Structure 1
């Protein structure tokens, strides 16, 4: 009877953490259709928008280590609850900012809360995996993408019909309801041990940094589509706001579908082959999106790109956490930090470049980045390992 109760608790915890991934993705995806309005209502240039997106990324990279520190003392459940309870209001704070002076701290806080919640919910998903003795990480990321699809898909339509503030308020209400419904079912790890005189040192093995580079090159295109695809469709291909918002929505939908199948694909074909084929699919989609003269072809190409990118990052993270002779947390911290810097900071550089050359050449260059990942795919062989059952 006790074993049954433990299993039921773990299953509820699995769906609770999946809901947290969905909420995080929903908030992030809802930001994408707000970007064109944000640009217009603040009367700012692409350069200034790029700076504000950089501020968003700096917030996330600042709060991510803080999230790890808090988890070492309080566990992932408490930290997910803490960051999530405030993160649901982040988009509304940005939507209400009347000028750049107030928008900058709002963006920093929004990015920080999303980033802190992201690290904690990934750690909680690991706790669920140990409790269930099976992988749930790929499908958890699938729920994030599903949330991004819902946020991006409904966002443009809602903004066009009711305005950006009403949209942000509706997003906040929906995210809060989901968060409150799931938070009580999150599972807790054993009380984390407090290490005395723990010193952080960077690993000296070059391989882990090369795996981190793969994660970086995989996540830069994802960040580019999140922050700039809608603007590309609207300003360069002549799409209306509702259509432009579908670029990230369809990209996220494709990623969702493939991530839910990700564990099965990897188990059948292996991490290296999966990564190699996935990177080529992603590169092809990005190239077509860059060259397309029509909005709907570009949207379809971004979706095709999402099919490829879906499993690239989970494979890179898994390879980083399974480096020979290195603690799992050490390798994972290097790879995740490098990877997330791609999705959070690199898009600001894209904004700077787009001011001068437009988005099409940039998307072509990103296709080249994905080809580089294909050439480096052999480094992912450490991702092929047998999961250990929970003790």
Structure 2
């Protein structure tokens, strides 16, 4: 593995570690702040609003200055995020800290995906799925161990541990990142949305693909704890189980995509994810629900990486511009839709909601032909 590929993979791992560390905090925050699902949903909404507010700014910065500069800035701004959430004393201060967390994390997400596209182009080989595999591996560590550390050391202890690991990883990865040049027509170009409909159509695919992942990230622990009676140390494994299988399939995803093509891979993935969500929704126990989330992770794994590779290789468009549109739309699914789930959960069971989300994956299944651009990016040198 080249140093540039290892460095961008490390960024995905660190980002996933931070997001995974957030997942088991939601039931802990509900207990500390004395709030129900609807107010917890508002916190999740703040996370999403922060991300979609900042993502376009870092998309523009990526196009104008290169992804290396953008991701370096965003990553260091993201590093202490869980500490600010831990130190915030009340609901609205926590909401503000979560908003900042979402903003810096979203900016890092756009920039590191653009850097992965740049490495793909320099190597003329697909690496996006494996990069997201490292993100999922980080999610497994952050979510699986996060609940245990929360019980042993509390929110502040967990925040300190995650921040220390994150900062150490950045010190190693930063100097090794690929230094990609800015897009040639971008430094003086005004900030505007692309005229082509393709990134927006891919954004719809990404949106439908990411909503189920967001529902597992933010609500699996609540589902297992409140509806299944699992302890907090077990509840964190709802998302961890999903992230674990996502990691395995994402590490295999580049090879699968190169062998079977992005379109066929997306179709099979969508059908598998639908099956896993159905198992989780009908589950009679926490163990079966975790198994369902793990099966869903197999399917979810390569939906977003394929959409991102397609967006980063659209003809006549700077990678940062197409990626910012698809990332913003896709991550509004993982960040904004779970807020609505918080309100729905007071009227419907989370199990019923997971069943409904299985049907949403008919969208990427029906629009899978749009993924063909990812095959061009994978197999053709720039």
> For residue 5 of structure 1, what is the aligned residue in structure 2?
none
Distance 1:116 1:197 in 2: 20
Alignment partner of 1:200 out of 171, 176, 192: 192
The aligned runs of 1:358-373 (5 Å cut-off) are 358-373=349-364
- Contact 2:216 2:238 (8 Å CA) reproduced: yes
- 1:118-137 residue pairs with structure 2 within 5 A? 118-137=109-128
Q: 1:62 aligned to 41, 48, 53, which one?
A: 53
Distance apart, 1:191 and its partner CA: 5.2
Decide whether aligned partners of structure 1 residues 133 and 378 sit closer, same or farther in structure 2, where only a CA change above 3 A counts: closer
For residues 373 and 183 of structure 2, what CA distance do their matches in structure 1 show?
Answer: 27
Which is further off, 73-82 or 58-67?
73-82
Distance in structure 2 (CA, Å) of the matches to 1:377 and 1:349: 26
1:279 aligns with 2:308: no
Alpha-carbon displacement from aligned partner over 1:273-315 (angstroms, at most 9, x marks no partner):
2111111110000011011010011001101100001111122
**Separation in 2, partners of 1:232, 1:199:** 42
User: How many Å separate the matches in 2 of 1:306 and 1:197?
Assistant: 40
Residue 93 of structure 2: aligned partner? 102
Structure 1 residue 248, shift from structure 2 partner: 0.7
Distance apart, 1:358 and its partner CA: 2.1
Superposition TM-score, scaled by structure 1 size: 0.92
Q: Secondary structure at the match of 1:187?
A: coil
Secondary structure of 2:347's match? helix
Compared CA separation, residues 126 and 258, structure 1 to 2 (3 A): same
What is the TM-score normalised by the length of structure 2?
Answer: 0.94
Q: Which has the higher contact order (CA 8 A, sep 6+)?
A: 2
1:157 aligned onto 2:151: no
Residue 159 and residue 40 in structure 1: after superposition, are their counterparts in 2 closer, same or farther (change >3 A)?
Answer: same
Determine the C-alpha separation between the residues in 1 that align with 2:213 and 2:307: 15
Q: Give the direction of change, closer, same or farther, for the CA distance of 1:270–1:351 in structure 2 (3 Å limit).
A: same
Q: Which residue of structure 2 lines up, in the alignment, with residue 388 of structure 1?
A: 380
Evaluate the alpha carbon distance shift between residue 316 and residue 69 of structure 1 in structure 2; reply closer, same or farther with a 3 A threshold: closer
Residues 127 and 188 in structure 1, CA contact (< 8 A), matched pair in contact too? no
User: Is residue 155 of structure 2 the alignment partner of residue 169 of structure 1?
Assistant: no
Equivalent in the alignment of 1:26: 17
- Which of 318, 328, 331 is matched with 1:340 structurally? 331
* 2:280 aligned to which of 272, 289, 311: 289
1:203–1:330 contact (8 Å) kept in structure 2 = no
Which of 280, 295, 299 matches 2:290?
Answer: 299
Shift of residue 223, structure 1, vs aligned partner: 0.6
Q: Distance in 2 between matches of 1:284 and 1:350?
A: 20
Distance apart, 1:320 and its partner CA: 3.6
What does the per-residue CA deviation read over 1:337-362, in whole Å, with 9 as the maximum and x for residues that have no partner?
22111111111011111111121111
Question: How big is the shift at 1:52?
Answer: 1.2
Match of 2:135 in 1: 144
> Deviation digits for residues 22-55 of structure 1, max 9, x if unmatched?
1100000000111111111011121111111111
Kept after mapping to 2: 8 A contact 1:67/1:79: yes
Q: Secondary structure at the match of 1:135?
A: coil
- Quickly say closer, same or farther: Cα 1:250–1:319, change in 2 above 3 A: same
Following the alignment from structure 2 to structure 1, what is the Cα–Cα distance between the partners of residues 339 and 176?
37
Q: What is the aligned partner in structure 1 of residue 217 from structure 2?
A: 226
CA deviations on 1:90-123 (whole Å, 9 max, x unpaired) are 0111122110121111011111111111111111
Provide the rounded CA distance (Å) in 2 between the counterparts of 1:317 and 1:131: 17
Give 5+ residue unaligned stretches, structure 1.
Answer: 1-9
The answer to whether the 8 A contact 2:55-2:324 is kept is no
Tell me the CA shift for residue 331 of structure 1.
Answer: 4.3
Deviates more, 1:67-76 or 1:231-240: 67-76
Give, in whole Å, the separation in 1 of the partners of 2:172 and 2:196.
44
Larger deviation: 155-164 or 48-57? 155-164
Label 1:250 to 1:70 Cα distance change in 2 as closer, same or farther (>3 A): same
Measured in 2, the distance between the counterparts of 1:106 and 1:199 equals 28
The DSSP-based 3-state class of the residue aligned with 2:342 is: helix
Check 1:102–1:141 CA distance in 2 against 1; reply closer, same or farther (3 A cut). same
Cα 1:316–1:289 shift into 2, 3 Å:
same
Matched, 1:92 2:83: yes
Does the 8 A contact of 2:210 with 2:333 survive in 1? Answer: yes
